[in-house]
Structure 1
Amino acid sequence: MAKPSRSHDGLQQLLDERNRYEQWIATLESRRESTPEHVFKRVHADYEQRLTGVRQQLTERTGEVRSAISGLKDRLKQASEQEAERVDEMHEAELRSVVGELTPEQWELRKREVEVELTRFADDKKKISEELNQLLLIIEQTTDHETDAEPAAHAPPAPATPSPPPAPIESPPPAAAVPADATRVRSKTPARPRAATHNDSPGPVEPEKPPVPIESLAPDEVAVPPTAEPAKASDQSAPSGPSSVGSAQPRPDAPAAASAKRSKSSGTAQPTDPRRENEKTLKCGECAAMNYPTEWYCESCGGELSAL
């Protein structure tokens, strides 16, 4: 117990001396403007030198204090274990007294002895704890002052102002997303022309209608017949001279058929076949009606075309 106390006293003196020098330096700084510069520097250097010496001694003594703290912790642990053993002995003696092994007088004697030892252990633990707390406080004060004093000398100079963030922060992060969207747009863009091409293809082509008879077509729907047929027909049926008249005489019933056809056409008023009208190239000399080159008699007046 004596050795840790001397260590504690010596450390406490060093701590007090350090605090005194620090206070002197702070007061000296307040008098700097009213003191000659060379005098201020000389006194300030003297106090700084003394403070540095005290700090070095505290650093050297810190190892001793730490060793003393470790020893006090061991002693505190040992005292706690001995106290627990004495408590167990007292409970054991009480149990033996209850079963009759120990007489009441022996039990009372053992109980008083254990109580005295427990009181001593409690006092020792209290003293050890107090001294341990003091040494821990000294270590804490020493460490705090060393941490406050040494960073300026040992720590590398930190930049006064943090450098601005690098250029990558200015680069827009959505740049990577734009190509993805563009890719999706490009991938979708060909689909629309392709679909349009497919729609424009002859999908809805209507089936071909069956040929309509020429007689049922309207005048504006009749296609112009090939020109070769009228010429050919006119070459075949155009009568000239007496030979044509002679060849037409063997048909005595032609006027009756022509008149029947004429009466039928006048009674029913059927529409004239435009194609056939276009092919009527033979003009009747009697009524000036146009007839087909293949007709023998005029459809209007019934006159014989070949004779005309």
Structure 2
Amino acid sequence: MAKSTTDNDSTIEALLEQRSQYEEWLLRLDTSGDKAPPAVRQRVRGDYEARLESVMEQLRGRSAVIAEELERQHASQAELDRERRAAEEALAEAEVRHTVGEYGEEEWRRLSDQSRGGIEQLRTRLRSIGAEITRLTDVQALLVTPRGAAAPPPPPPPPPAPPARTPRPEIIEQSPFETHLAEEPLAATPAPATKAEPSAPPPAKVDELAFLKSVSEEETSRPVRRPSNPGMPAQTATAAPRPQEPATPAPAAGKVASGVAKTLKCGECGTLNRPTEWYCERCGAELAGV
């Protein structure tokens, strides 16, 4: 059986070498630039192609033998791999027994050397069988691949990538939006000031027509009074009462008025006012008629 396998291997190797030789000659014939007539070149090409086809037929006839040999090599590889794993487990077990004290140093050294040597031999045989399996697999691929397909032409270059589209100037479009956002708080800043302005309670509702009528009648019936504050402009009959808006007096007049006692009582709300005031500082009612 071993002799038959060796003969088959030799025959297959020889046929593979012939196949490579004929393919190389055909390649040189295609790339040579001699001035031979086309008919001569075609005749030489036909001879090489016929020889190559004959070699391929012989290889195909041995495809069954190659498949059988490949299967046998796979089985041998599996068996050797099992032996290797068993030897490694035996070595690990011996190491554990040596660690706990069952095996002495001499016994452990002997078992370790023996196990490691056997494991190395098994690994060497596995490498050899792996190389043979690779060779037989390549031979099978050559038998099923038609001539000329062993060296396929390079794949066409990928289509050029589409040009990158110029990004839209989104930043420029967003800049007005950002400016608008930044300006919104500025437009809303006066709102808190308007809310904080009415610190005093709102004045009582007064009939404007009756108020204006009474003022006009009093102005005609009594002499003109001096203003309570020299810096404050004279009030007119048409001016509407302003709630809680005292006039800004001059610094000197403010100091004098601050020392005057509040003895004038408002007839509307009862609040005490200075005798120099014309209107109640709380409700705004006129103090002249009190």
Bigger relative contact order (CA 8 A; separation at least 6): 1
Larger radius of gyration: 1
Instruction: Quickly name the TM-score band, shorter chain normalised.
Output: 0.3 to 0.5
- Greater helix share, 1 or 2? 1
Q: What TM-score, normalized to structure 2?
A: 0.42
